[in-house]
Structure 1
Amino acid sequence: MLIPAFLLQHEMTVEAWQGEGPYGPSYAAPVAVRCFLDEQTRMVRNPGGEEVTSSSTAYALPDAVCPTRSRVTLPSGRTTTVIAAYQRDGGNLPTPDHLEVQLQ
């Protein structure tokens, strides 16, 4: 079961991080991603295990591509960075499968 489409009321623009290039970070072309955006500040752990502050969390369809360090532009126009992205799969449970994206 996927996250219901009626919950995806927001749209963020994601430039997927591709790595370091000769002139700094390299990003893919911008892609519009439908999501539910929860702008709430909270402490989260980054992939390195350090506690960092997340200003927003976006919930998108599981096939969205939002790797760590990607650049994201929110509906407000604010540009931020992906701290971590987690696939949430309920298996056989009746819970909505989705991608949780924690943003700086």
Structure 2
Amino acid sequence: MPHRIIIEPYEGDSAYGPTYGPPAANVPALVSETVRTARGPDGRDVTSTAQVITGPEVTCPPESRITLPSGRITTALHISPHTAPGLPLPESTEVMCE
């Protein structure tokens, strides 16, 4: 994975707004900053301006903050784990970002 990102996992809302867990820095990823349509957490179609592929062990719930290699801070919209039990394929997690 050629890129490095920072993930601040979303933990919920408080009286002061959204709260995030400790940042995971230097997370290996493959980042594509292109515009695509994705399904949002509420089921509506939304526009994704960045797609991130990371390892299967990464914790990134929807609404987490992600700092991309370009320095842009974005929000995770939809997370898709990709597994292939029994097959010689790599496992990964795909994150569609706002």
Which bracket does the TM-score occupy, shorter chain normalised? over 0.9
Cross-structure match for 2:2: 9
Number of aligned residue pairs: 97
Cross-structure match for 2:90: 96
Cross-structure match for 1:5: none
- Per-residue CA deviations over 1:30-84 (Å, capped at 9, x if unaligned) read 1121101111110011132200000111110100011100011111110100001
Using structure 2 for the length normalisation, give the TM-score: 0.93
- Please identify runs of 4+ aligned residues in structure 1 that moved more than 3 A: none
Measure how far apart 1:88 and its partner are: 0.4
Cross-structure match for 1:18: 11
Q: Aligned AA for 2:86?
A: N
Whichever structure has more strand as a proportion of its residues is: 2
Structure 1: 5+ residue stretches without partners: 1-7
**Percentage identity across aligned positions?**
37
Cross-structure match for 2:71: 77
Q: Aligned AA for 1:11?
A: R
